[in-house]
Structure 1
């Protein structure tokens, strides 16, 4: 049966969202009622559905932003630079910089830390509150996965899958986007010829060379247009590309929870394997060196090897196994109402009625845990500090 993207005029309850979209891992677009109370929806727009550039420059103009040049490809992404937000807007207002796209702007976190009493410009909808990534990162790191995107008509984000198959949701405050959504069963059609091991996909779905991507013409994406005020839910593991059809400003989150945890875990395993293959020569050097040292434990090199792999995994994708399991432990403590670090200003506690049942949460975590401790890489014993985290995870699972 051909995949489709549902549309809802009005918000659904959390339970209905869980059953209809999270568990089946299906996309949906929800109408403006979901976000109509947001200050951003009222202040960032003007009559006629145009962006209120004057307001944005006045309030946020002095902030640094990351700007992608959509006309300049740099490896598998677009060239990026840092600019003041007011300077980018001034270019657009002068009819210049039409290929520039402000991306991954941590505006909410920046304002909270810089101006603790600032006026909140949006709140996370209830159906997206069960968010392990932002709960953990907001409480324990200087990072998060909450972004604002601002781009001129024609700017785009190349084909990609969100970090470790996380979910995403994106609300158009003003403007229209076109989305290409590829269900996970079509993923193998997106790879470059001979590049399956490294997950090198097409860059721009509008211009794909059949010589380098011979299977791409068999892919059948869902193509949808997202209007001003609408929110799209992108399921776990769905590759997607996004184009701004007009000047557009949006609020986006990457997120995960127990429902898509098995997919995240499988993606982590795949990333580790990819890095191991890329560093095979390092592995050989370490094992050979250990064999040539009679006074050294012949297994000692493995701890250094695992540490090197995890460092590269973290630099390449932002997470490693330590982050993954600390996030899970944090989520379990919250779900089971145990003492846990929380930054209520950045990410308030999620009520239990906006989560799956404790049994579902434990079942998903336990499956990952039991597989992980059996991995032949033995990361659970070789990575410093990880065994203590896993002991605490196991203790909560057994309660």
Structure 2
């Protein structure tokens, strides 16, 4: 399967029809990020084919932030060995010619900057007097990706999000993986080049490019290597289009955990007649620890999105600008994607909506939201 390259960002309807619905990857040219402060402040683009990352600037501005660092040369269980360090110390290692296998990953820089008291701004480099503000919003989510149920919910209702910065030297990499619960991913190189290997879902049983910006479809396994020193901004995201894939992935994860804990289930069943509630609680706790979500999180996210999409409630956050109606599918489409997941969930033999504390109220609220006749019909599909 080929991967389209678009020099200019498509319209939302083109993106929806050509990439979201068929679940296809796409590369979009650098113009989509040309207005970002990070594009101008983090690197010199005097030579567009060979931008130079300003590690001194990044260290001065963001050096005190703690970052998760993966050692790409050391494997630990099924992932790379990881540790936490100050970003300034990581840059110092690189500048001293050490730590070439170290890769800063999953850095929640946008949230950290937005929620922290701003320190005094450093003086700009003498040779770069117009390189933009040191702190504040260093990028804006492209319009095509703003219909994002994950980050809308997490930004408004939790202390977490799925917005990341990645920074590493040439040949650092992320091993083969599928993003959390089959979510979408978009990745934009602020500077540097990456090579992506993408495997569609049909090839999953067989598994045991270079660009400025990538959109990774739902459920596609992928591996990514930095061909040069590289710094990028990435989001995991989802919406009504890939919600069925997320739901199926959640169901599969629950079943995987249940199989792994069969001996616990047998022990609980032997020791008491009212064991199903405790068993369900244990399973959901393990599911959440494994990937950060459980059924409560999933349905709270869906409810948050439905209330916004139906126009019944403004559940926005200063950390996340919601998508305008012309950048989302029609309300009728959204309901049609959510309804089969909802109906299947309340019929599950595990009866989680009855047994998990607090979940019944959330699920009932989702059902009520699906009865709303919304007015958000920006265009017909």
TM over 0.5: yes
Report the alpha carbon displacement of residue 116 of structure 1 after superposing the two structures with TM: 6.6
Matched, 1:332 2:314: no
Match of residue 145, structure 2, among 103, 108, 128: 128
Match of 2:113 in 1: 111
SS in 2 for 1:137: helix
Indicate the structure whose relative CO is greater, using CA pairs within 8 Å and at least 6 residues apart.
Answer: 1
Match of 2:339 in 1: 366
CA contact (8 A) 1:165 1:238 kept: yes
Matched, 1:312 2:286: yes
CA contact (8 A) 1:136 1:327 kept: yes
Cα distance in 2 for partners of 1:103, 1:66 equals 6
Cα distance in 1 for partners of 2:136, 2:152 equals 21
Report the alpha carbon displacement of residue 339 of structure 1 after superposing the two structures with TM: 2.1
Q: CA, structure 1 residues 116+130, in 2 after alignment: closer, same or farther (shift >3 Å)? A: farther
RMSD: 1.0
Structure 1, unmatched stretches of 5+, are: 192-223, 291-297
Matched, 1:225 2:213: no
Matched, 1:342 2:324: no
1:138-177 alignment runs, 5 A limit: 138-177=155-194
Number of aligned pairs?
A: 353
Match of 2:326 in 1: 353
Match of 1:40 in 2: 38
SS in 2 for 1:232: strand
Cα distance in 2 for partners of 1:241, 1:322 equals 30
Structure 2, unmatched stretches of 5+, are: 120-134, 373-381
CA contact (8 A) 2:147 2:322 kept: no
Matched, 1:4 2:21: no
Matched, 1:258 2:240: yes
CA contact (8 A) 1:362 1:397 kept: yes
1:267-278 alignment runs, 5 A limit: 267-278=249-260
Report the alpha carbon displacement of residue 288 of structure 1 after superposing the two structures with TM: 0.7
Cα distance in 2 for partners of 1:340, 1:392 equals 16
CA contact (8 A) 2:148 2:237 kept: yes
Report the alpha carbon displacement of residue 337 of structure 1 after superposing the two structures with TM: 1.3
Match of 1:381 in 2: 354
Report the alpha carbon displacement of residue 108 of structure 1 after superposing the two structures with TM: 0.4
CA contact (8 A) 1:330 1:340 kept: no
Give the stretch that moved more between structures: 348-357 or 263-272: 348-357
Q: CA, structure 1 residues 116+349, in 2 after alignment: closer, same or farther (shift >3 Å)? A: farther
TM-score normalized by the length of structure 2: 0.91
Cα distance in 2 for partners of 1:360, 1:341 equals 21
